[in-house]
Amino acid sequence: MNDLKRGIPANPNQEVRFTVDVAPSVNHMYIFGKGTKCLTKEAKAYIEKTQHICLEAMQACQWKKDNENIWYHMDLQFYFPDKRIRDSHNCLKILMDSLEGVLFDNDYFVMPRIQHVGYDKEHPRIEISFKAE
């Protein structure tokens, strides 16, 4: 295929799976003041922890970074801590920003797919499965 700078994966069958905490939503990841916006302490801590978990998962499955222009599917299953109605897609921004430069070079090439939204009071989380298209 020659659409949208699509490349052919050198490692088409590899997959990495890992679980991270539920991400802060876009509405809670920034502090605004004097015409600027900065990440909250919670958002910075989330990014650091998520990157660490991802790196461990990549090492465990011997993930190899692929060529440029490879499109990826990122399947997501959300488990929230309560039954309050939430927009799971509002968590995608910080999650994608956390993984860019670690798992993939550019989130332009990632197609996130929310497969499930559920409830788990004891262990809220996002389960992630990542593989080349």
The reported pLDDT for the residue numbered 3 is 61
Alpha carbon 96 to its chain's center: 4
Specify whether the CB–CB gap between 119 and 83 falls below 8 A: yes
The reported pLDDT for the residue numbered 72 is 95
Q: What is the mean pLDDT of each run of 10 residues along the chain (133 residues)?
A: 72 94 88 87 96 98 88 96 90 95 93 96 97 91
Q: Please state, in angstroms and rounded to a whole number, the distance separating the CA atoms of residues 104 and 12.
A: 14
Domains assigned to the chain: 15-132 (3.30.1330.70)
State the pTM of this model: 0.90
Specify whether the CB–CB gap between 72 and 14 falls below 8 A: no
Q: Please state, in angstroms and rounded to a whole number, the distance separating the CA atoms of residues 124 and 22.
A: 6
DSSP state of 56: H
DSSP state of 24: P
The reported pLDDT for the residue numbered 14 is 94
The reported pLDDT for the residue numbered 47 is 96
Report, in angstroms and rounded to the nearest whole number, the Rg of the chain calculated over CA atoms. Answer: 16
Specify whether the CB–CB gap between 75 and 111 falls below 8 A: no
The reported pLDDT for the residue numbered 44 is 95
The reported pLDDT for the residue numbered 66 is 86
